Amino acid sequence: MQNKIWNETVKKNFNNAAANYLGYSNIQRHFAEKIVSFLKELNIQKGEWIDLGSGTGLLADEIEKEFSTKKITRIDFSKKMLLQNREYSKKILWDLNNGLPPKIRNCSLMTSNFCIHWLNNPQKIIRDWFNKLQSGGYLIIAYPTINSFPEWKQTCKETNIEYSGLTFPLSREILKNFTSEEILFSNKYLYVENFPDIYKLLRSIVNVGAQSTKCKRKKVFELKKMQKYWPKRDTNSVNLTWEINIQIFKKL
């Protein structure tokens, strides 16, 4: 699928999910809270704070709760997601595949939670963000890694059905563009979700607008086969395991 069509598909799915996103985004909330706990330990200088791929403002709101004098600029390409943000919050409608909005200057903090894997070239884009930080500034990103969804991949292998989940970034590749002095922190966390069956599991992905795929839609018989072969827990329920990486970079 060409980048332009892919981008429009991703945007449409996030737009459609915007109204109900907050009710279903437990994992994003969990890691937003973790990011804030790291922020409390950093000595962030004066400057603008921006949240990239902010969605409804889940992370930006958490940051503003903790740092009550700061106003976070929320940047996203989904108009409907931005419209869910608090009234009077700073918002910019912008496609991050085109770099940063030109008016962004003097940034001492950039955050991004569950967004970079939607970008066309995350490795390059993250370095470009970092280059635009003021010296002494921090960039914090949280994203699912390539090791996420082992149950899904195993089921597809066993049933010979094409894996239609996203291919997430490889942490090592993201780190490649940074020197060891610039990398302050990089750690992986497992997060396991449990569902009564794979239909509810797949629905949970649609509920947050994250169902975009470059693969063909699954046929009913394929879904039935996946339900049968997906590894079950004692309760006959199914797990979805995420591996999330949080990385903190500091501009020297």
Ligand X SMILES: C[S@@+](CC[C@H](N)C(=O)[O-])C[C@H]1O[C@@H](n2cnc3c(N)ncnc32)[C@H](O)[C@@H]1O
Least CB distance to ligand X at residue 172 (A): 22
> Interface with ligand X includes 109 (CB under 6 A)?
no
Least CB distance to ligand X at residue 20 (A): 13
> Interface with ligand X includes 32 (CB under 6 A)?
yes
> Interface with ligand X includes 244 (CB under 6 A)?
no
How far is Cα 83 from Cα 130, in angstroms, rounded to an integer? 27
DSSP 129-193: HHHTEEEEEEEEEEEE-TT--HHHHHHHHHHT----S--PPPHHHHHTTS-TTTEEEEEEEEEEE
How far is Cα 245 from Cα 186, in angstroms, rounded to an integer? 7
Q: Which is nearer to ligand X, 36 or 58 (CB)?
A: 58
> Interface with ligand X includes 119 (CB under 6 A)?
yes
How far is Cα 146 from Cα 166, in angstroms, rounded to an integer? 9
Q: Which is nearer to ligand X, 81 or 198 (CB)?
A: 81
How far is Cα 53 from Cα 7, in angstroms, rounded to an integer? 13
The residue to which tokens 């960039």 are assigned: 139
How far is Cα 30 from Cα 86, in angstroms, rounded to an integer? 20
> Interface with ligand X includes 212 (CB under 6 A)?
no
Binding test (CB under 6 A) with ligand X, winner from 20, 97, 147, 207: 97
Binding test (CB under 6 A) with ligand X, winner from 36, 39, 96, 100: 96
Least CB distance to ligand X at residue 3 (A): 10
Q: Which is nearer to ligand X, 9 or 154 (CB)?
A: 9
Return the residues of window 2-21 that contact ligand X according to CB under 6 A: 10, 14
Binding test (CB under 6 A) with ligand X, winner from 73, 84, 113, 212: 113
**What DSSP element (H or E) covers 239?**
strand 238-250
- Residues 6+ positions from 137 with CB-CB distance below 8 Å: 44, 45, 47, 107, 108, 109, 110, 250, 251
Q: Which is nearer to ligand X, 32 or 175 (CB)?
A: 32
DSSP 65-115: HHSTT--PEEEES-HHHHHTSPTT-EEEE--GGG-S-TT--SEEEEEEES-
Least CB distance to ligand X at residue 78 (A): 4
Return the residues of window 36-95 that contact ligand X according to CB under 6 A: 53-55, 58-59, 76-78, 81, 95
Binding test (CB under 6 A) with ligand X, winner from 24, 25, 171, 226: 25
Binding site for ligand X (CB under 6 A): 10, 14, 25, 28, 32, 53-55, 58-59, 76-78, 81, 95-97, 113-115, 118-119, 208, 210
